Amino acid sequence: MLVKLSPSLRNLQLPLRLTLKGGPTLDLGPHPRVTLEIQDLSLLEELTEPSLDKLGEAYISRRMEIHGPIMDVIEVADMLSKGLLGDDPGPAPQRQAHDKHTDAAAVSYHYDLSNEFYGLWLDPEMVYSCAYFHSVNDSLAQAQQQKLDHLCRKLRLQPGERLLDVGCGWGGLARHAARHYGVEVYGITLSQAQLELARQKNAEAGLDQHIQLELQDYRDLTGQEQFDKVVSVGMFEHVGHANLDAYFKVLHDQVKPGGLVMNHGITSKHTDGRQVGRGAGDFIGRYVFPHGELPHLAMAVSSMSEQGLEVVDVESLRLHYARTLECWSDNLERQLERARTLIDDKALRIWRIYLAGCAYGFRRNWMNIHQILAVKPHADGSHDLPWTRADLYR
Ligand SMILES: C[S@@+](CC[C@H](N)C(=O)[O-])C[C@H]1O[C@@H](n2cnc3c(N)ncnc32)[C@H](O)[C@@H]1O
């Protein structure tokens, strides 16, 4: 069977070994780092057009097993895919309609998977967004604390202020802000499992008097100008292009004049949204973040501006997210046996590919992540920000 493989595949010279279940083996180059063990022979035909979503699907449906360090598997899969398919970006994906019902189901699919599973590989505060490394040797826990503090400093939080945290996750930022900056936090999530554990963690930290977390959609935030500051971290990827203006209008309406809004989220590489990574985005959309959409930075800035928010500072953290995801993936890979007892086999296969694949994607500049800080100016156009950023780094 293997000798019949297409010459284009055989000529690629990859550090890859192909094995047919319990049978023959073929090395596609010297010193293979990765073995793909084909369980379903019909897959051999499909390997002539190996998009990354197809390879990922073969693994999660057990038509193929992978052997070797997961980061090497992703890299070699990309070499294979690029070698045969080239590197032209694919067309922009179809944009999807988002309503509260579909968004709630999509969020529940991802975040209600298992708190214990997420606890295996996140930092102790279970921050589920890009960390901030002062040095490559920082631990994940340290880098997440630095990220939380970086956000609080950018928001110039002052004791007694009211902070809205849109997409609060397991409450790590809320606790950091209440504990170290003396603010009162109102946070929302669409995940019941997150909410329960976050409330428990707030109580254990003795902070529940200062933090109120609710199961609530951002579209259901009522009232106007109730908050001094608004923060949204790793949430706007769920909003969708169609709702971007409505989302930023909510943030704008919730913050008082003179207040600051921080939007921290993943952004697309191309302004028109055309795809990079030969199907990698399709895999993420199908199995990891259903209904997720990545706007470009320019689109986010444009939408914020049109909603009356003045963008005052933008920072890219792309390589920080590559490092964060590498830490998450390493943590998971070290605890696969335990993970198998917490979630089913298919989900574990999906999450292994997702964490390592996204680490690879951020390293390769397939997507970016930006912290966008904006102010809602006072009626006369003024605001209260300091003249320089020096206060952020004291
Ligand atoms: C990647 S997590 C980030 C959590 C947290 N900000 C952190 O950094 O750890 C995304 C969060 O956004 C929330 N979310 C997604 N869509 C939402 C919506 N429509 N309304 C409110 N929260 C939403 C999810 O429930 C989840 O808590």
For 163-197, what is each residue's pLDDT tens digit? 999 999 999 999 999 999 999 999 999 999 999 99
Strand partners, 262: 231, 373
Ligand 1: distance of its center to the CA of 193 in Å?
A: 12
Which sign, positive or negative, has the C-alpha torsion 323, 328, 330, 333?
negative
CB 89 within 8 A of CB 274: yes
The structure tokens listed for 247 are: 């989302």
Pairing of strands 227-233, 162-166: parallel
The span from the CA of 139 to the CA of 9, in Å, is 40
What pLDDT is attached to residue 87? 82
Query: Exactly one of 130, 168, 327, 358 is catalytic; which is it?
Result: 358
With a 6 Å cutoff on the Cβ, whether 233 touches ligand 1 is yes
| Regions of the chain where pLDDT drops below 50 | none
The span from the CA of 18 to the CA of 7, in Å, is 14
The structure tokens listed for 216 are: 């609530």
The structure tokens listed for 232 are: 């949204």
DSSP code at position 95: P
CB 354 within 8 A of CB 74: no
Q: Which atom of ligand 1 is nearest to the CA of 170?
A: 9
What pLDDT is attached to residue 92? 79
With a 6 Å cutoff on the Cβ, whether 189 touches ligand 1 is yes
* Environment class of 224 (CB within 10 Å of its CB; exposed 0-12, middle 13-18, buried 19+): exposed
> Hey, where are the domains in the chain?
7-85, 100-393
Fold entry, domain 100-393: Rossmann fold (3.40.50)
Question: For atom 11 of ligand 1, which residue has the closest CA?
Answer: 167
Report the run of H or E that residue 371 belongs to, with start and end. strand 367-375
Q: In the chain, count of helices (H) and strands (E)?
A: 15, 11
13: left (phi over 0), alpha (psi -120 to 50) or beta: left
Question: For atom 7 of ligand 1, which residue has the closest CA?
Answer: 128
What pLDDT is attached to residue 93? 77
CB 166 within 8 A of CB 264: no
User: Could you give the 3-state DSSP secondary structure of residue 83?
Assistant: helix
What is the Cβ-side half-sphere exposure of residue 303, based on CA atoms within 13 angstroms? Answer: 22
CB 76 within 8 A of CB 103: no
What pLDDT is attached to residue 4? 64
Question: For atom 14 of ligand 1, which residue has the closest CA?
Answer: 167
Strand partners, 164: 186, 230
The contacts of residue 115 (CB under 8 Å, 6+ apart) are: 170, 193, 194, 196, 197
What pLDDT is attached to residue 218? 98
Strand partners, 34: 16
What pLDDT is attached to residue 3? 62
What pLDDT is attached to residue 273? 85
Cα Rg of the chain (Å, integer): 22
CB 168 within 8 A of CB 111: no
The three-state DSSP-derived secondary structure of 118-158 is: HHHHCCCCCCCCCCCCCCCCCCHHHHHHHHHHHHHHHCCCC
Using alpha carbons, select from 287, 264, 296, 280 the residue that is nearest to residue 349. 287
- Asked if the interface predicted TM-score (ipTM) of this complex is over 0.95, the answer is yes
The span from the CA of 72 to the CA of 34, in Å, is 7
User: Could you give the 3-state DSSP secondary structure of residue 387?
Assistant: coil
Ligand 1: distance of its center to the CA of 165 in Å?
A: 9
